C-alpha cells in the first residue's frame, strides 16, 4: 500500500534501525511508489537484555509494503549491516540483494546456514555499476573502512542525489583500494539533494590513524615479543587479520586460528582472495604443542570479553586446546564496544593472574584504529558533497546532534537538517524537508531460535529475577470446605537464604495463611487467578517493608478439586 504520509511529489527517507543506537542499521528510501532498503543489520545486546542473542529491526512496515520493494542494497559486510538479512527474508519478500565483493561472500555463507528461507538473487555490484529504476538511478562510491568493499550508495533522483555514506573514514594510505573522492565532487556539481552520513565518531576530534600505520605497528610489536602471542580482534576485520598474518610471517611464526567466527572469516577471506598466506602458514589448534612458544601466533575471537568466545575460555582455563601461561603476550587489536568494558576487564584481569602480559591499544602501542571518521573526516564529506538537506545517521542521539553541529559549521542551513528517531519519516520535496509522521519501528529480540516472542515484559521479568530473585508460596486448599489443608510452603531462589531466615519465612507463612483464610470467609465466589493476584499484592508490600527488595512473587495453589 502507498505511504499515506507522503504526497505524490515527495521522497520519503526513514530508518527502521540505526538512529539513537550504534547497530541494527536499516534505512529506507521511498520514491515513486518504490522502496529501496539500505542494509539490514543486528544490534548486539548489552547487559540489560538478559538472555537475548541479537536485536533486529521491526520489519512490519516492509512486510505490509513488500510489493513495492525493489531491492536490498548493502554498503558492506559488518554484522550491524548484514546480520539481520536471514530474519528479514523470513518475513519479507526481497526481489534482489545488491552487495559487493567481500560482503557477497559473507552473506552467502550466512544464508547457507538457514534451510527454511528462500534466498533471492544476490547481484554483485562493482563501484562503476549503475542500476536504473523508475526515475531513480543507483550508483556506488568506494570509500575506506575497516573491511574491504565498503561503498556509499547514491540514488539519483530528478531533484538531485540522495547519498548514503555507509561507514567510512578518510584514509589517505589505506590497506585496500583508494576511496573515489572524485565521484563525490562530481555528485556535488550535479547537486546533492540529501546526505545521510555516518555519525559514530562525531564527538571525536583526535586523529584517526590509517590502517597501514596499524599494520606497521603490529609488525614492530611482533618483532619484539619473545614468547607466544595470542591476539584477539573482530572476526570481520579482514584487513587486520591479514596484517596479523603478515607480522607472523615476518617474525617466523605459524598461525593457529581459534573461534568459529574467526575460522569462518579466514576461510571466506582465503577463498575470495582477501587473505593471502603461503602454504603451511596455518596450523591446526591441536598441533600447538608441537611448536615452541616463539614460533606461534594464536589468532582468536573474544576481543570484547564475550564469555563464550575463545579468548575468555583461554583466560579461565576452560579452552580444550589452549591454556594461557606465564610468558604469553595477549594483544587486544580492537576497541571496546560501549557496554563491553567490564567484561573485557574481567578477561584482562584473569590473564594477568595467570602471568601473561596484556597489550591493549593506547599511547604505548598502536594495536587498533577506528573504521569511522572523526570530526574532520565528517566535515570533509559534507564539504565535498555540499548537500541541500542533511540527515545524520548511524549513531546514538548525542552523536547525531554533534554531527548536526559539524554540518552547520561547514555551511548547511540549520533549517535543512533533521535529527530523527527510528520510524520518523522525512519528506523531501521542492518546498523543503519536514517530518511527515512515523511508521512502525522498534526492537525485535532474538532469543535462541525464537524471533519476536520475547517482549519487554519478559526482559523486565528476567532483570527482576537477576536483581531481586524469586519468592514462591505453595498453598494446598480444599475448595469445597474452603479451608487451608497444610501450612503454606515457601521457596526462595536468589532472594534470601532459607537457612538462617527461618523466623522471616515462618512469619510470612503465618500471615499468608491468615490472609487466605480471611479471603475465603469474605468471598464465597473468589476465583483462583483473583486469589493469586491478591496474595501477590499482599506479599509485595510485606516483603518490601521488611527487606526493601521486590522479588518476583509466584503463588501456587494446589489440590483444587473445583473452581474457587
Residue 298, C-alpha cell as written in the block = 594464536
Q: Identify the band that residue 388 occupies on the pLDDT scale cut at 50, 70 and 90.
A: very high
pLDDT of residue 192: 97
Contact 35, 68 (CB under 8 A): yes
For 11-206+370-451, CATH number out of 3.60.15.10, 1.10.10.10, 1.10.510.10, 2.40.50.140 equals 3.60.15.10
What are φ and ψ of residue 148, in 5° steps? -65, 155
Strands 254-258 and 296-300: parallel
Question: Angle, to 10 degrees, between the axis of helix 260-272 and the axis of helix 238-250?
Answer: 90
Contact 148, 237 (CB under 8 A): no
Contact 539, 498 (CB under 8 A): no
pLDDT of residue 548: 77
Q: Check residue 377 and give left, alpha or beta (phi > 0: left; psi -120 to 50: alpha).
A: alpha
Cα–Cα distances in angstroms (integers) from residue 377 to residues 169, 185, 386, in the given order: 6, 15, 14
Is the pLDDT assigned to residue 401 strictly greater than 80? yes
Q: Which of 142-156, 359-373, 383-397 has the lowest mean pLDDT?
A: 359-373
Is the pLDDT assigned to residue 117 strictly greater than 60? yes
What are φ and ψ of residue 392, in 5° steps? -65, 135
Q: Nearest Cα to 149, choosing from 89, 188, 98, 186? A: 98
Convert the pLDDT of each residue in 272-297 to its tens digit.
889 999 999 999 998 998 999 999 99
Instruction: Round to whole Å and give the CA distance between 228 and 248.
Output: 11
What stretch of H or E contains 27? Answer: strand 26-31
Q: Identify the band that residue 227 occupies on the pLDDT scale cut at 50, 70 and 90.
A: very high
DSSP-derived secondary structure letter, 119 = P
Residue 253, C-alpha cell as written in the block = 611464526
Q: Identify the band that residue 564 occupies on the pLDDT scale cut at 50, 70 and 90.
A: very low
Domain covering 469-558 in this structure, CATH number: 3.10.20.580
Torsion, Cα 185 190 194 197, to 10 degrees, reads -10
Is the pLDDT assigned to residue 333 strictly greater than 60? yes
pLDDT of residue 559: 63
pLDDT of residue 479: 67
Strands 552-558 and 470-478: parallel
Residue burial 310-328, b: 16+ Cβ < 10 Å; e: rest: bbbbbbeeebebbebeeeb
Q: Which of 89-93, 303-307, 427-431 has the lowest mean pLDDT?
A: 303-307
The distance in angstroms from the start CA to the end CA of the chain is 50
Determine the average pLDDT of the residues in 244-255: 95
- Radius of gyration, alpha carbons of the chain: 29
Question: What count of residues does the chain have?
Answer: 564
Is the pLDDT assigned to residue 492 strictly greater than 70? yes
Q: Identify the band that residue 499 occupies on the pLDDT scale cut at 50, 70 and 90.
A: low
Instruction: Round to whole Å and give the CA distance between 59 and 37.
Output: 11
Is the pLDDT assigned to residue 516 strictly greater than 60? yes
Residue with grid cell 486448599, as numbered in its chain:
477
Cα–Cα distances in angstroms (integers) from residue 425 to residues 55, 420, 428, in the given order: 22, 8, 10
Which CATH architecture group holds 211-359?
3-Layer(aba) Sandwich (3.40)
pTM for the structure as a whole: 0.81
Other residues' Cβ atoms within 10 Å of the Cβ of residue 409 = 11
Q: Identify the band that residue 498 occupies on the pLDDT scale cut at 50, 70 and 90.
A: low
Is the pLDDT assigned to residue 322 strictly greater than 60? yes
Determine the average pLDDT of the residues in 466-477: 79
Q: Identify the band that residue 261 occupies on the pLDDT scale cut at 50, 70 and 90.
A: confident
The more confident residue out of 478 and 372 is 372
Instruction: Round to whole Å and give the CA distance between 292 and 195.
Output: 54
- Cite the beta strand spans of 514-558 per DSSP E: 552-558
Mean pLDDT taken over the chain: 88
Q: Nearest Cα to 480, choosing from 368, 404, 560, 402? A: 560
Highest mean pLDDT among 85-94, 461-470, 537-546, 555-564: 85-94
pLDDT of residue 497: 62
- Cite the beta strand spans of 277-408 per DSSP E: 282-283, 296-300, 329-332, 357-359, 389-393
pLDDT of residue 202: 96
CB-based burial label for 532 (10 Å; 0-12, 13-18, 19+): middle
Determine the average pLDDT of the residues in 10-38: 95
Q: Residue 517's Cα: distance from chain center in Å?
A: 52
Determine the average pLDDT of the residues in 257-265: 90
Strands 329-332 and 229-232: parallel
H helix and E strand count, the chain: 15, 27
Q: Check residue 59 and give left, alpha or beta (phi > 0: left; psi -120 to 50: alpha).
A: alpha
Q: Where are the domains of the chain?
A: 11-206+370-451, 211-359, 469-558
Amino acid at each position: 500500500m502507498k505511504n499515506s504520509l507522503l504526497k505524490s511529489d515527495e521522497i520519503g527517507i526513514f530508518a527502521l534501525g540505526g538512529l539513537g543506537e550504534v547497530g541494527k542499521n536499516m534505512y529506507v528510501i521511498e520514491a515513486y511508489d518504490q522502496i529501496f532498503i539500505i542494509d539490514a543489520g543486528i544490534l548486539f545486546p548489552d547487559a540489560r537484555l538478559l538472555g537475548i542473542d541479537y536485536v533486529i529491526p521491526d520489519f512490519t512496515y516492509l512486510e505490509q509494503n513488500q510489493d513495492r520493494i525493489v531491492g536490498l542494497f548493502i554498503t558492506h559486510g559488518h554484522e550491524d549491516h548484514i546480520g539481520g538479512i536471514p530474519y528479514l527474508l523470513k518475513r519479507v519478500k526481497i526481489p534482489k540483494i545488491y552487495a559487493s565483493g567481500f560482503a557477497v561472500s559473507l552473506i552467502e555463507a550466512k544464508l547457507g546456514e538457514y534451510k527454511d528461507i528462500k534466498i533471492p538473487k544476490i547481484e554483485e555490484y562493482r563501484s562503476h555499476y549503475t542500476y536504473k529504476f523508475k526515475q531513480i538511478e543507483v550508483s556506488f562510491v568506494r570509500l575506506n573502512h575497516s573491511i574491504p568493499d565498503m561503498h556509499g550508495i547514491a540514488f539519483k533522483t530528478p531533484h538531485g542525489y540522495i547519498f548514503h555514506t555507509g561507514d567510512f573514514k578518510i584514509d589517505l594510505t589505506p590497506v585496500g583500494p583508494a576511496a573515489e573522492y572524485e565521484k563525490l565532487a562530481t555528485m556535488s556539481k550535479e547537486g546533492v539533494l540529501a546526505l545521510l552520513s555516518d555519525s559514530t565518531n562525531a564527538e571525536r576530534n583526535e586523529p584517526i590513524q590509517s590502517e597501514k600505520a596499524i599494520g606497521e605497528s603490529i609488525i614492530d610489536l611482533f618483532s619484539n615479543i619473545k614468547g607466544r602471542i595470542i591476539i584477539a580482534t573482530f572476526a570481520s576485520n579482514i584487513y587486520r587479520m591479514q596484517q596479523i598474518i603478515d607480522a607472523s610471517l615476518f617474525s617466523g611464526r605459524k598461525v593457529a586460528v581459534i573461534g568459529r567466527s574467526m575460522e569462518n572469516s579466514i576461510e571466506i577471506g582465503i577463498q575470495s582472495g582477501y587473505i593471502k598466506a603461503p602454504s603451511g602458514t596455518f596450523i591446526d589448534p591441536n598441533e600447538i604443542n608441537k611448536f615452541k612458544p616463539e614460533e606461534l601466533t594464536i589468532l582468536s575471537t573474544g576481543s570484547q570479553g564475550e564469555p563464550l568466545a575463545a579468548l575468555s575460555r583461554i583466560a579461565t582455563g576452560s579452552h580444550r586446546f589452549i591454556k594461557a601461561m606465564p610468558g604469553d603476550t595477549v594483544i587486544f587489536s580492537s576497541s571496546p564496544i560501549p557496554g563491553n568494558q567490564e567484561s573485557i576487564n574481567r578477561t584482562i584481569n584473569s590473564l594477568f593472574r595467570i602471568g601473561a602480559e596484556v597489550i591493549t591499544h593506547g599511547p604505548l602501542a598502536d594495536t587498533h584504529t577506528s573504521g569511522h571518521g572523526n570530526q574532520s573526516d565528517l566535515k570533509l564529506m559534507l564539504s565535498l558533497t555540499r548537500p541541500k538537506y542533511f540527515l545524520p545517521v548511524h549513531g546514538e542521539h548525542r552523536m547525531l546532534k554533534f554531527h548536526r553541529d559539524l554540518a552547520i559549521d561547514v555551511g548547511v542551513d540549520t533549517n535543512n537538517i533533521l535529527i530523527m528517531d527510528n520510524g520518523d519519516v522525512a519528506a523531501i520535496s521542492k518546498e523543503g524537508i519536514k517530518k511527515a509522521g512515523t511508521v512502525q519501528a522498534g526492537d525485535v529480540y532474538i532469543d535462541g531460535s525464537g524471533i519476536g516472542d520475547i517482549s519487554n515484559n519478559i526482559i523486565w521479568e528476567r532483570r527482576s529475577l537477576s536483581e531481586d530473585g524469586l519468592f514462591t508460596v505453595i498453598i494446598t486448599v480444599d475448595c469445597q470446605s474452603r479451608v487451608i489443608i497444610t501450612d503454606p510452603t515457601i521457596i526462595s531462589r536468589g532472594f534470601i537464604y532459607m537457612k538462617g531466615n527461618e523466623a522471616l519465612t515462618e512469619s510470612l507463612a503465618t500471615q499468608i495463611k491468615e490472609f487466605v483464610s480471611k479471603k475465603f470467609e469474605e468471598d464465597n465466589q473468589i476465583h483462583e487467578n483473583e486469589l493469586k493476584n491478591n496474595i501477590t499484592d499482599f506479599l509485595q508490600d510485606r516483603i518490601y517493608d521488611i527487606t526493601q527488595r521486590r522479588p518476583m512473587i509466584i503463588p501456587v495453589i494446589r489440590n483444587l478439586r473445583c473452581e474457587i
